Amino acid sequence: MSTLNDVAINKLSGGLGRRNPEQDMVSGLLFSGEETLNLKFDKIERLASLEDAEDLGITESYDLSGQSAYYQIQQFFRMNPSGDLYIMVVDAASFADTVKKAIDMQEKANGNIRQMAIICSSETTFVQTKAALAIAQEQANLAYTDYMPFEILLEGKGFDTAAEATSPSLAELNSENVSVVVAMDVEKAVYYKNTAAVGLALGALSKAKVSENIAWIEKFNLTGNGFAKPGFVGGKEIKSLGDLRTLNDKRYIFTQTHTGLAGVYFNDSHTCTSATSDFAYIENNRTINKATRLLRTALLPKLASPVLVDIDGKLPQSVSKSFEDLCRNALEGMVANQEVSAFDVYVDPKQNILATSELKVKAEITPVGTARKIVVDLGFKNPFGIDKA
């Protein structure tokens, strides 16, 4: 149908670079590659838009050398135009060497990064990716010990797209803070042959509340520029539902379509640990990480403070309650924001602080559930009842 001549103006979002006061969206992209005139090795930069990356020399032409940094950044901001992204390029010969820089990047970001994607420009087999995965969990453990926890997304470099059924299970790797993404747009895989769409997953995480699964259909439709046709690293198209079920059971993150619904969606938010673990899904970890940061911030001013005890050496009720209130005030915002269902805090007044100089607080949170499966009992009904004659 023809239209009248006109000047069309498209209204864009994200140009002002306004940030949400919440820090949950703060993300990181760590990659090996080449320096540019404005981006030097091991120097951290903070981006509020794709244009910020281009100003640093990370453009489409940068990716022509076997890199995917520009593509990942573009997908991150496409998924979340209000995203907040740190980037750092390193001179590393292998995926493992790149991953070893994760804690360094987090420290340079003053511990602000909540989730980090790691990619590598070198040729990498899946065996080497598994080795990098173990190092990634070590980096996450160090970060938690240093009170700056974050989740890690690894691209599934070297993933064997010809043998999904024999792909190794990630459930046995005991890496609860690491996830492996093997999703890739089939159309883009022509240019990015051994790359996964971790930037897309990172953007979805930065957009999600800490309690939300990035596979939520209603909120995370992935279709758009740079991701049109779901497939795997290497460009292989989805072959069968059986293959997808196998890969899902083995706890890979990939993309899929749903019959009767337009769009492309993640399958789940698996981490590389057993499905029975408390930390089997990214949202479990992001929730506990946020609570960890909030509680520490609330209690830190009380470190080395005097604590009164009664004649029996016990904590007076007023003292116990004051510490409980500090923790409750820290966590109440998570309930209000529907990031946790409920919480409980208890300070035992009978603890012997005079002997140990240690005050123990017990905090428990009830997470928000996820409807991973919806079961409907459906059948016919005869309004007249059953004729038993």
Judgement on whether residues 337 and 192 belong to the same structural domain of the protein: no
* Of the residues 247, 266, 285, the one at which a domain ends: 266
Q: Which of 266, 298, 323 is the last residue of a domain?
A: 266
Does 8 score more than 60 pLDDT?
Answer: no
Q: Report yes or no on 355 lying in a domain.
A: yes
Q: What percent of the chain has pLDDT over 70?
A: 91
User: What average pLDDT is seen over the chain?
Assistant: 90
User: For the residues of 229-285, what is the DSSP string, one character each?
Assistant: SEEETTSPBP--HHHHHHHHHTT-B-EEEETTEEEEEE---B-BS-TTSTTSBHHHH
* Same domain, yes or no: 188 and 330: no
Q: What's at 51, amino acid-wise?
A: E
The edge-to-edge listing of strands for the beta sheet with 115-119 is 45-47, 84-90, 26-32, 115-119, 151-155, 178-181
Domain membership of residue 289 (yes or no) is no
246 and 335 share one domain: no
Query: And the tokens for 257?
Result: 């379509």
Which residues are CB-contacts of 385 (< 8 A; sequence separation ≥ 6)?
none
Residues 150-173: tens digit of each pLDDT: 999 999 999 976 666 668 999 999
In a domain, 376, yes or no: yes
Give the Å distances, CA to CA, from 12 to 9, 63, 198, 227, 352. Answer: 9, 26, 24, 20, 60
How high is the pLDDT of residue 149? Answer: 96
Residue 53 has pLDDT above 70, yes or no: yes
Residues 356 and 215 in one domain: no
Band of residue 10 on the pLDDT scale cut at 50, 70, 90: low
Q: What percent of the chain has pLDDT over 90?
A: 77
DSSP-assigned beta bridge partners for residue 117: 29, 153
Q: Of 243, 266, 289, at which residue does a domain stop?
A: 266
CB contact set of 8 (below 8 Å; sequence gap of 6+):
none
User: Which has the minimum average pLDDT: 46-50, 224-228, 259-263, 318-322?
Assistant: 224-228
Q: Above 60 in pLDDT, residue 78?
A: yes
Q: Do 182 and 38 reside in the same domain of the chain?
A: yes
Q: Which domain holds residue 327?
A: 308-382
- Does the residue 292 lie in any domain? no
Does pLDDT of 20 surpass 60? no
Question: How many domains, in total, are found in the chain?
Answer: 2
φ, ψ of residue 371 to 5 degrees: the values are -80, 75
Q: Is residue 210 part of a domain?
A: yes
Q: How confident is the model at residue 185 (pLDDT cuts 50, 70, 90)?
A: very high
Q: Categorize the per-residue pLDDT at 147 as very low, low, confident or very high, splitting at 50, 70 and 90.
A: very high
d(CA 100, CA 117): 13
Pair (174, 89) in one structural domain: yes
**Cα 73-74-78 angle, rounded to 5 deg:** 115
Tell which phi-psi region holds residue 69, choosing left (phi > 0), alpha (psi between -120 and 50) or beta. Answer: alpha
**pLDDT beyond 90 at 209:** yes
pLDDT at 386 over 80: no
pLDDT at 206: 97
| DSSP letter assigned to residue 363 | E
Least confident span in 17-21, 237-241, 266-270: 17-21
The verdict on residue 179 lying in a domain is yes
Residues 174, 230, single domain; the answer is yes
Q: Which of 74-78, 141-145, 194-198, 309-313 has the lowest mean pLDDT?
A: 309-313
Per-residue pLDDT averaged across 128-157, rounded? 96
339 pLDDT above the threshold of 80: yes
Q: What is the DSSP letter of 49?
A: S
**Does 108 have pLDDT greater than 70?**
yes
Same-domain check for residues 206 and 314? no
Euclidean distance between CA atoms 146 and 332, whole angstroms: 24
Res 167: pLDDT: 82
* Residue 375 forms part of a structural domain: yes
- Residue range 347-378, pLDDT digits in tens: 999 999 999 999 999 999 999 988 777 788 87
Query: 58 with 119, same domain?
Result: yes
Instruction: Yes or no: say if 126 and 151 are a contact pair by the CB < 8 Å rule.
Output: no
**Based on the domain organization, do 120 and 260 belong to the same domain?**
yes
Contacts of 171 (CB under 8 A, 6+ apart): 249, 250, 251, 272, 273, 274, 275
Asked if residue 2 belongs to a domain, the reply is: no
Q: How many CB atoms lie within 10 A of CB 148?
A: 20
Token readout for 121 is 């420009």
Residues 255 and 317 in one domain: no
DSSP run (H or E) holding 77: helix 69-79
Give dist(CA 355, CA 286) in Å, integer.
Answer: 35
Residue 81 has a pLDDT of 95
pLDDT at 9: 57
| One domain, residues 70 and 219 | yes
Q: What mean pLDDT do residues 6-29 have?
A: 66
For the stretch 85-96, what's the b/e string if a residue is b when 16 or more beta carbons lie within 10 angstroms of its beta carbon? bbbbbbebebbb
Strands 340-346, 178-181: pairing is: unpaired
Q: What is the pTM of this model?
A: 0.90
With contact defined as beta carbons under 8 Å apart, do 181 and 153 qualify? yes
pLDDT at residue 298, rounded to an integer: 95
Lowest mean pLDDT among 6-20, 182-196, 325-339: 6-20
pLDDT band, residue 234 (cuts 50/70/90): confident
